[in-house]
Amino acid sequence: MDKQKECQTEYLTVDELSKRIKFSKQSIYNLVSKGVFVLQHHYFKPRPKKILFKWPAVLEWMENAPPKANSKARSLKDDEHKYKNLINI
């Protein structure tokens, strides 16, 4: 049954994925480069310069990704802490 499910998996090129999730192609390449998208889980490379994304895995990533605002808020708090330490010196 897993093989049937695997055959039904939709695979998308970078261009197709870019249009579907409204990210630039460069942003998608950056996510691959940073290791956010994982080889053999989110995508595979049938040829060295060809990337195909597994739509169900990308969709799962999108639905479970932490909101960006939280990470920015954390870094602002970290920066604030650093500046307070500088002021106290």
Residue extents of the structural domains in the chain: 2-88
Task: State the pLDDT at residue 33.
Answer: 95
Residue 34: phi and psi, rounded to 5, are -80, -10
Percent of the chain with pLDDT over 70: 66
**CATH tag, 2-88:** 1.10.1660
- Residue 6 pLDDT > 70: no
- 4-25 average pLDDT score: 87
User: How much is the pTM?
Assistant: 0.65
Q: Which residues contact 56 (CB under 8 A, 6 or more apart)?
A: 9, 10
- Residue 89 pLDDT > 90: no
- 35-61 average pLDDT score: 95
- Residue 4 pLDDT > 90: no
